[in-house]
Structure 1
Amino acid sequence: MAKAGGQVPLVQRRLLDLKLFEVPKWTLRRLVSPKAVFCAMCRGHDTYYKKYIDVKKGGIGGVAMFLMGYVVISYIWNYSHIKHDRWRKHH
């Protein structure tokens, strides 16, 4: 995987291992097919599940993060309705 000089090719590096100026080149060389996007989403879900949900010493962290995300998304979806309710006069 590593070359003789000890450097990993740009395409095989992870996003967090890149320098800022390498990100555009790395993005253009990545495979952006629907299957690749689906596989990346599955890997992200598996990583989240292994890190926060499926642990031996279980905590409330993963579930709390999921519920907080649900609350934030619900608020965003209902913001326009909430904003209009604020200006109404209730008699």
Structure 2
Amino acid sequence: MSGTDFSRTGRGTRLHSVAAVWESTGFPPASALRHAEICLTLADHDDRVRLISAMWANHGFPPADAVQRAEICLILAAPTPSAVTRNRIERRK
């Protein structure tokens, strides 16, 4: 995916927003970005909250905190309605 595609879909923005959540807890940038990519990949999974909160729990966060951080990541990972609309228009061309 080119940089233009990232800008067009907003995926790059979502990726960096989720990475910022991981960085804010002390993860180095590369690790935060890797965790953010996993979150974006899991965002459409049926069991997404459990899977992402397990990632946080594996890093020592208490269960309630892990679930809350997972929910924040998923909110930030969700495409904006305008991005979804743009993607549909692009596919029709």
Measured against the shorter chain, the TM-score band is: under 0.3
Greater relative CO, 1 or 2 (CA 8 Å, sep 6+) = 2
TM-score normalised to structure 2 length: 0.23
- Please tell me whether Structure 1 or Structure 2 has the larger radius of gyration of its CA atoms: 1
